[in-house]
């Protein structure tokens, strides 16, 4: 499932992140990937140990907590602390697949996270840079994604994807991975579509007994498919 999630960040949150990242100390993005990824990756990232990364990551996580569409689509069990990158001067990231298992500090100890859903939160207005499209390849072809600042795209972590070269300006983004309560992408799509239909029926005055019955079906499917 490839999904555009609009207006994740408020205007004030977006402006704060942009100001902070404009003054940030960046590191070579190849430091966080393996040998194969380093061959096709040319960008910069905030170091994992950076206090600024932790501070800005908390802002992103708080914004995600407030966003019902993100929750309905990702059904998050765990979220890897958000990272931040910058592409400029021809920087790009060739086709790759995200690692299946991430190691992350949770509750003060190292833990493993299975990457089910990949997310990119755009932090630069699309008119401020050329190139930099996120290209996601699936059975329907290649999809170019370049969203307004503050908007997010989520897609299956199993997808082959790349970032096109940035030939003018700078492209700032936050990126992170989600271990979902529902591992299967098709099941998550079904649940999202059902959740959206229930909300539409509820707000348009549909028969309340039928809405209640359908809501029960949703929760019983979530109960059947979830792993927590």
Position 34 pLDDT exceeds 70: no
Three-state DSSP at 176 gives strand
pTM score of the predicted model: 0.94
Predicted local distance difference test score (pLDDT) of residue 32:
66
First to last CA, the chain: 21
Predicted local distance difference test score (pLDDT) of residue 29:
83
Position 148 pLDDT exceeds 90: yes
Q: Residues of CATH 2.60.120.620 domain(s) within the chain?
A: 3-180
Q: Residues of CATH 4.10.860.20 domain(s) within the chain?
A: 185-225
Position 73 pLDDT exceeds 80: yes
Residue 57 burial (C-beta neighbours within 10 Å; 0-12, 13-18, 19+) = buried
Residue 39's pLDDT band, with cuts at 50, 70 and 90, is confident
The tens digit of pLDDT for each residue in 151-210 reads 999 999 999 999 999 999 999 999 999 999 999 999 999 999 999 999 999 999 999 999
Predicted local distance difference test score (pLDDT) of residue 144:
98
Residue 107's pLDDT band, with cuts at 50, 70 and 90, is low
Poorest-pLDDT segment among 5-9, 25-29, 132-136, 160-164: 25-29
The rounded distance, in Å, linking the Cα atoms of 69 and 3 is 10
Residues near 27 by beta carbon (within 8 Å), at least 6 away in sequence: 44, 45, 46, 47
Q: Are the beta carbons of 166 and 132 closer than 8 angstroms? A: yes
Q: Which CATH class is domain 185-225?
A: few secondary structures
Is CATH 1.10.357.10 the right assignment for the domain spanning 3-180?
A: no
Residue 1's pLDDT band, with cuts at 50, 70 and 90, is very high
Residue 106's pLDDT band, with cuts at 50, 70 and 90, is low
Q: What's the average model confidence in pLDDT over 28-44?
A: 77
């Amino acid at each position: 499932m490839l999904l555009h999630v609009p207006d994740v960040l408020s205007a004030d949150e977006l402006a704060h992140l942009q100001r902070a990242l404009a003054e940030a100390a960046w590191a070579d993005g190849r430091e966080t990937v393996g040998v194969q990824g380093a061959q096709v990756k040319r960008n910069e990232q905030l170091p994992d140990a950076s206090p600024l990364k932790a501070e800005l990551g908390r802002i992103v996580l708080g914004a995600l907590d407030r966003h019902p569409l993100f929750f309905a689509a990702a059904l998050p069990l765990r979220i890897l602390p958000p990272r931040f990158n910058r592409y400029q001067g021809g920087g790009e990231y060739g086709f790759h697949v995200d690692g299946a298992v991430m190691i992350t500090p949770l509750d003060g100890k190292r833990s493993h996270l299975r990457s089910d859903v990949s997310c990119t939160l755009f932090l630069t207005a699309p008119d401020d840079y050329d190139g930099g499209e996120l290209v996601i390849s699936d059975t329907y072809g290649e999809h170019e994604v370049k969203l307004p600042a503050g908007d997010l795209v989520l897609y299956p972590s199993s997808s082959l994807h790349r970032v096109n070269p940035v030939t003018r300006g700078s492209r700032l983004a936050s990126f992170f991975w989600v271990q979902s309560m529902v591992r299967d992408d098709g099941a998550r799509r079904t649940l999202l579509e059902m959740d959206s239909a229930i909300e539409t029926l509820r707000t348009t005055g549909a028969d309340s007994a039928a809405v209640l019955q359908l809501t029960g079906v949703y929760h019983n499917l979530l109960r059947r498919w979830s792993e927590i």
